[in-house]
């Protein structure tokens, strides 16, 4: 199936394919930059750790340099909720002020630590050059556009269910997450870019419906006519095992400063994603 990138309006949109890890040169003004390049799926950043580090550090510096040269009005860096690591109980929901509980040498560290360094680069450019940079820490965004082989939990569950297979759960399934539907998240991303304060960090996600993987599997089962089984499996070598026990954002700052308000329930978002998967891949 052709990707969404092929469906853009060619009159109002120009697609330029570039490697962010090399110096970026674009003719004309560049008013706004959204730096969302990165390797975000755990399976892939385990497979390509050096590339993961490079895009989050060198790639980020190249985009900051572009914003500096072009005197951009705003540049947004997509960091990650992973930079918090495994938050302590008293820091769930997790505010932007939490400094993190992260291993610098663990199996996920190539992603976590390079995102943290990316944030440091952003703040350094802000402090040295007054670059209008904002940092977003997204929390488990999902929805249409995710590949079925993405290997994150919702695509993996939906792909398994559509293929008539059991839903695979790593570990005991008690680890909890909240999930942010793509349209809610995108509204938050644009609010940060247009209204966010320079040199500030914003959590963007859903602060409600924290749910365990076991219960998430039950929600998936409910949207299918036939019963779907759950299969608990050990962590494969291709998947980093030290994932956080809980992940839930405190989005008070985004609500108060930006007017951010997620509105899509988990079940509604899953149904929309399922419809898109059926049309695209099955």
Provide the annotated active-site residues: 111
Based on its alpha-carbon atoms, the radius of gyration of the chain, rounded to whole angstroms, reads 19
Distance, in Å, from the CA atom of 155 to the CA atom of 220, rounded to the nearest integer, reads 11
Distance, in Å, from the CA atom of 263 to the CA atom of 274, rounded to the nearest integer, reads 18
Give the 3-state secondary structure of the chain.
Answer: CCCHHHHCCCCCCCCCCCCCCCCCCCCCCCCEEEECCCCCCHHHHHHCHHHHHHHHHHHHHHHHHHHHHHCCCEEEEECCHHHHECCCHHHCCECCCCCCECCCCCCCHHHHHHHHHHHHHHHHHHHHHCCCEEEEEECCEECCCCCCCCCCHHHHHHHHHHCCCCEEEECCCCCEECCEEHHHHHHHHHHHHHHCCCCEEEEECCCCCCEEHHHHHHHHHHCCCCCCCEEEECCCCCCCCCCCCEECECCHHHHHHHCCCCCCCHHHHHHHHHHHHHHHHC
Strands 200-204 and 133-138 come out as: parallel
């Amino acid at each position: 199936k052709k990707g969404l990138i092929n469906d853009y309006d060619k009159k109002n949109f120009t697609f330029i394919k570039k490697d962010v890890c090399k110096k970026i040169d674009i003719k004309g003004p560049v008013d706004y930059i959204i730096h969302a390049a990165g390797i975000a799926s755990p399976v892939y950043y385990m497979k390509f750790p050096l590339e993961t580090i490079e895009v989050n550090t060198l790639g980020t510096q190249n985009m900051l340099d572009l914003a500096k040269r072009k005197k951009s009005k705003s540049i947004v860096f997509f960091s990650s909720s992973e930079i918090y690591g495994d938050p302590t109980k008293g820091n769930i929901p997790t505010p932007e002020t939490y400094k993190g509980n992260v291993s610098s040498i663990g199996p996920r560290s190539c992603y976590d630590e390079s995102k943290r360094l990316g944030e440091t680069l952003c703040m350094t450019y802000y402090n040295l050059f007054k670059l209008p940079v904002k940092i977003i820490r997204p929390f488990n965004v999902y929805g249409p556009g995710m590949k079925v082989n993405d290997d994150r939990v919702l695509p993996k569950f939906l792909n398994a269910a559509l293929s008539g297979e059991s839903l695979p759960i790593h570990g005991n399934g008690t680890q909890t997450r909240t999930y942010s539907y793509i349209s809610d998240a995108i509204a938050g991303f644009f609010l940060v870019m247009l209204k966010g304060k320079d040199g500030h960090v914003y959590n963007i996600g859903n602060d409600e419906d924290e749910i365990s993987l076991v219960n998430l599997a039950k929600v998936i089962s409910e949207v299918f006519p036939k019963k779907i089984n759950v299969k608990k499996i050990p962590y494969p070598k291709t998947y980093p095992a030290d994932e956080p026990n809980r992940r839930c954002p405190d989005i008070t700052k985004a609500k108060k400063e930006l007017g951010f308000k997620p509105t899509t329930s988990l079940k509604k978002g899953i149904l929309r994603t399922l419809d898109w998967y059926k049309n695209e891949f099955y």
